[in-house]
């Protein structure tokens, strides 16, 4: 099933067979806010990085070999060591009437013994416990992602929308229709939507946010292929 995403001013895409790829060439940057990183390059200064390193080593973040460009994040080896990324500058704010789309493709080394987060969030040194955002979160000890729409620490949730496997790429995305529906997508397939804007974070600017935390005293990795966020201006 393809994702049909429509933006105003005649801009539309009706054949997204593989995520957002077909949409990008048609987005007018004067009418749409677009963040796109395919990780052919990586500059640490583009990100606010929050790291916990209780083990004997240090977390690392670097490009790695792989088709299309990949960012490899490797945590230190203590339980709850983590590495979280938030793009410098909060450039996105959800507003009624303005459609939005997000998608990320990534994998992690351990689908169970790790916490993983990805989406749009307010700037926070604890992305696993933010007050505002639209994002996916997988808790330690689980293999399933929940999808959250959160404002002022109050959440609307679509539970168990995706299942993660060890060292296996997954695409997580969401689409806000500009009216009342937030639809999560997993590998291009729509899942149970959140059909209310009661907890839409419309009073805060948000930024691209992702990262991983160890669920045990073993180093974990997260490999990110790409991240896209797009919103009507």
Mean pLDDT by groups of 10 residues along the chain of 233 residues: 36 37 55 91 96 85 95 96 96 95 97 98 95 98 98 98 98 94 94 96 98 97 96 91
Alpha-carbon span 206 to 142, nearest angstrom: 27
Q: What is the pLDDT of residue 10?
A: 35
Alpha-carbon span 226 to 95, nearest angstrom: 25
Read off the pTM.
0.89
Q: What residues are paired with 74 via a beta bridge?
A: 60, 221
Comparing CA positions, the residue from 231, 186, 221, 48 lying closest to residue 122 is 48
Q: What is the pLDDT of residue 29?
A: 73
Residue whose tokens read 């994002």: 135
Q: What is the pLDDT of residue 70?
A: 98
Two structure tokens written together for 3: 């994702």
Alpha-carbon span 86 to 205, nearest angstrom: 13
Torsion angle, alpha carbons of 95, 100, 105, 111, to 10:
40
Alpha-carbon span 114 to 218, nearest angstrom: 10
Alpha-carbon span 90 to 221, nearest angstrom: 26
Contacts of 14 by beta carbon, 8 Å cutoff, 6+ apart = 2, 4
Q: What residues are paired with 73 via a beta bridge?
A: 61, 222
Q: What is the pLDDT of residue 20?
A: 44
> Which structural domains are found in the chain, ordered by start?
32-232 (2.60.120.200)
């Amino acid at each position: 099933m393809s994702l049909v995403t429509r933006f105003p001013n005649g801009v539309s895409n009706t054949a997204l067979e593989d995520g957002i790829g077909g949409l990008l060439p048609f987005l007018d940057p004067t009418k749409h806010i677009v963040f796109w990183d395919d990780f052919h390059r990586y500059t640490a200064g583009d990100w606010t990085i929050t790291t916990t390193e209780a083990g004997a080593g240090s977390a690392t973040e670097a490009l790695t070999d792989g088709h299309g460009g990949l960012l490899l994040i490797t945590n230190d080896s203590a339980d709850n060591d983590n590495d979280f990324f938030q793009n410098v500058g909060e450039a996105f704010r959800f507003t009624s009437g303005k459609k939005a789309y997000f998608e990320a493709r990534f994998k992690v080394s351990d689908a169970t013994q790790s916490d993983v987060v990805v989406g749009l969030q307010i700037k926070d040194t604890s992305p696993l416990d933010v007050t505002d955002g639209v994002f996916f979160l997988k808790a330690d000890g689980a293999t399933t992602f929940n999808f959250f729409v959160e404002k002022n620490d109050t959440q609307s949730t679509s539970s168990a929308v995706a299942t993660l496997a060890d060292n296996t790429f997954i695409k997580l995305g969401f689409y806000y229709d500009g009216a009342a529906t937030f639809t999560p997508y997993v590998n291009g397939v729509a899942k149970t939507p959140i059909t209310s804007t009661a907890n839409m974070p419309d009073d805060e600017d948000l930024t691209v946010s992702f990262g991983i935390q160890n669920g045990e005293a073993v180093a974990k990795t997260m490999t990110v292929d790409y991240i896209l966020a797009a919103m009507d201006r």
